[in-house]
Amino acid sequence: MPRFLLTILFAVVMTTRAAFAQQEDAVWVQVEAQPSLAQANRQIINYANRLQDVNGFALGGGWYGIALGPYNRADAETVLRAYRRDGLIPRDAYITFTSSFESQFWPIGANLLNVRVETPAAEPLAQPEAQPAAQIAPETETIVPDETPREARASEAQLTRDEKKELQSWLKWAGFYNAAIDGSYGRGTRASMSAWQAANGYETTGVLTTAQRAALKGQYNAVLDGLGLQSVSNFDAGIEMMIPTEVVSLKSAEYPFVTYTPTADLDAQVVMISQTGDQSTLFGLYDIMQTLDIVPLEGPRERKDNSFVLVGEDAARISHTEVSLIRGEIKGFTLVWPSGDEERRRRVLTEMRSSFNRIDGVLDPSAGSNAVQDIDLLAGLEIRKPKLSRSGFYIDNKGTVITTAEAVGSCQRITLDDEYDAELVGVNDQLGVAVLRPQTSLAPIAVASFRNSQPRLKSEVAVAGYSFGGVLSAPSVTFGTLSDLRGLEGEETLTRLALAPLPGDAGGPVFDTGGSVVGMLLPKADGTSRQLPGDVSFAASGDAIRALLTQEGITTDAGESLGIMAPEDLTALAGDMTVLVSCW
């Protein structure tokens, strides 16, 4: 939009404000949200250089919003349409309320959270000569009703109970109704209708006409503008439902998922779920869904005999999955929506849930069989990966595990072999050892037997570990030599090894030739100016580990090595004792 037209637009808005006689709560045009204050400050300066009424507010949960305002509802809708049409703000910008904000950070020192704006006076606004008449509609104080009160009552009587409950929901959303959504129009509902009519320039009769109900519905649905919410029938999946077609589009159908991915700046995603099966299939799907990246770890889970609901949330997004089993068909959906846009997310989810309909057909098991195969994908959806994967090993028959302290820093969840949840018992940062306890009882096939005496210098040793971070289903064994019984600076809690492990091996057991454990491999030191040869590695000594475990009240097996184990036998022992430790 040319700058002179922008000036005219805001001159009209300001003229309207000057003629106001009645106060109402402010509304805002939310432009975007950023996950950090630094990013929000960078973006808000760009908007402030081009637009007026730019403000910044904390949204909660570490998010910061950029909003235009404050306006009354009509001005906000005018600004939203004009700016979105001319590409000055994103298409997914929307109208929101002061209650969405926590505190103001821009402009510095400003506080508009308690401001109220004025409603328009009776006389319609004159259009500036340079402003096309279609761009700003004149406003009046009282709108002529489309029906008489008697006609309005007659049209209201035709509403079903669900339609009456829906209207109560709209009034509640608009802030005029706070009682039960029961479809019964008593004194409270009538009072809320009168209040809404007064706030919107209508005669206060306490009965909404057909046009007024449509206007209220339009206000309620304004938040969905630009999303293209419409019914989509996917006959391959046998599912019909409302989806936001302007922000997602069909990407792929790979059994049992039909995936709709983002087409705009809004990072939303919709997945239809469709397959044949029984309760065992449903329960298996419940477990599988929780391994996918689109279902964050944190959030409530509910599994019943014939259905389940999964909600996952992290700093960037919220995921909601609903699936049910009916007559041998498992169908449902997942909605993924960015955090910080809660009102639209709830509204879209409500529309999807209420419109979800099973039609004939279930996704063919061969769907997607020609798609490119990827070990990190499951039916076209990315499998969740841990932040870090390292090795560990069992030290007692209760399933207690020791690993490198590096593996357990800042974890929301710790797993053993990607299957069993574990809790952190303790960490010794000086030694670099962490102790884990499984949350469910485990019975390891083999546990570590620590060597009682010091191993011989220059003797052969072997390290077992998940060298490739769990890509292989069993640990690898790397052979090398014991170079020194101390660290480079004489540390007696360390031993120096001549072998070249990979990062995933850290935390794995170090064996002598007889299968006794003589230490735990430590990770390579990062961020130091000293670069050591590639085959120089260090391990926490077995004696130091046993002393630490004794302090924690943990008893370990100990003994002397007897003879020399064949490499294949040592590899089998390592496989039974070594465990993959993952930090999520």
Residues 481 and 410 in one domain: yes
Residue 216 maps to which CATH number?
A: 1.10.101
DSSP secondary structure letters along 228-292: -EEEEEETTTTEEEEEETTTEEEEEEETTEEEEEE-SSS--EEEEEEEE--HHHHHHHHHHHTTB
Report residue 361 CA to chain centroid gap: 31
Residues 506 and 417 in one domain: yes
Q: Specify the pLDDT at position 373.
A: 56
pLDDT of residue 18: 41
Q: Could you tell me if 405 and 540 are in contact, meaning their C-beta atoms sit under 8 angstroms apart?
A: no
The reply to whether 112 and 160 lie within a common domain is: no
CA dist., res. 326 & res. 277, Å (int): 10
Per-residue pLDDT tens over the stretch 203-223: 999 999 999 999 898 888 888
Inside any domain, residue 412: yes
The residues that bridge with 558 in the sheet, in sequence order, are: 450
Flag whether 573 is in a domain: yes
Task: Assess whether 412 and 374 both reside in one domain.
Answer: no
Residue 209's nearest CA partner among 168, 152, 150 is 152
Q: Which residue, of 103, 119, 135, is where some domain finishes?
A: 119
Where among 382, 414, 447 does a domain terminate? 382
Residue 512 located in a structural domain: yes
Q: What is the pLDDT of residue 141?
A: 44
Q: Tell me what pLDDT residue 381 has.
A: 79
Distance CA 520, CA 510 (A): 5
Question: Quick one: 549 and 569 in the same domain?
Answer: yes
pLDDT at 482: 94
Instruction: Identify the CA nearest to 43 among candidates 67, 59, 77, 21.
Output: 67
User: How far apart are the C-alpha atoms of 83 and 67, rounded to whole Å?
Assistant: 13
Q: Are residues 471 and 574 in the same domain?
A: yes
The residue count of the chain comes to 584
Whole-angstrom CA distances from 496 to 141, 211, 308, 546 are: 86, 83, 52, 18
Residue 157 maps to a domain: yes
Q: In what order do the strands lie in the sheet with 248-254?
A: 248-254, 257-262, 269-276, 329-338, 317-326, 307-313, 301-303
Question: What gap in Å lies between CA 166 and CA 476, rounded to an integer?
Answer: 62
Same domain membership, residue 525 and residue 460: yes
Q: How many domains in the chain?
A: 4
Residues 457 and 399 in one domain: yes
> Among 574, 571, 556, which residue's Cα sits nearest to residue 435?
556
Cβ pair 204, 198 in contact under 8 A: yes
- Domain annotation covers residue 136: no
The CA distance from 312 to 319, in Å, is 5
Give residue 29's pLDDT. Answer: 92
**Within-domain flag for 128:** no
Note whether 259 and 326 are same-domain residues.
Answer: yes
Same domain, 375 and 406: no
Under-50 pLDDT residues of the chain:
1-21, 122-142
Whole-Å CA distances, 162 to 180, 221, 265: 13, 18, 35
How confident is the model over 36-45, as pLDDT tens digits?
777 787 888 8
Look at residue 99 and tell me if it is in a domain.
yes
Do residues 580 and 470 lie in contact, with contact meaning Cβ atoms separated by under 8 Å? Answer: yes
pTM for the whole structure = 0.53
Q: Which two tokens stand for residue 177?
A: 């109704």
Provide the domain limits for residue 399.
Answer: 388-583
**What CATH number is attached to the domain comprising 401?**
2.40.10.120
Regarding whether 402 and 541 lie in a shared domain, the answer is yes
Question: DSSP state, 34?
Answer: E
Write the single-letter amino acid at 500.
A
Residues 396 and 529 both lie in one domain: yes
The Cα–Cα gap between 437 and 416 comes to 10
pLDDT of residue 36: 77
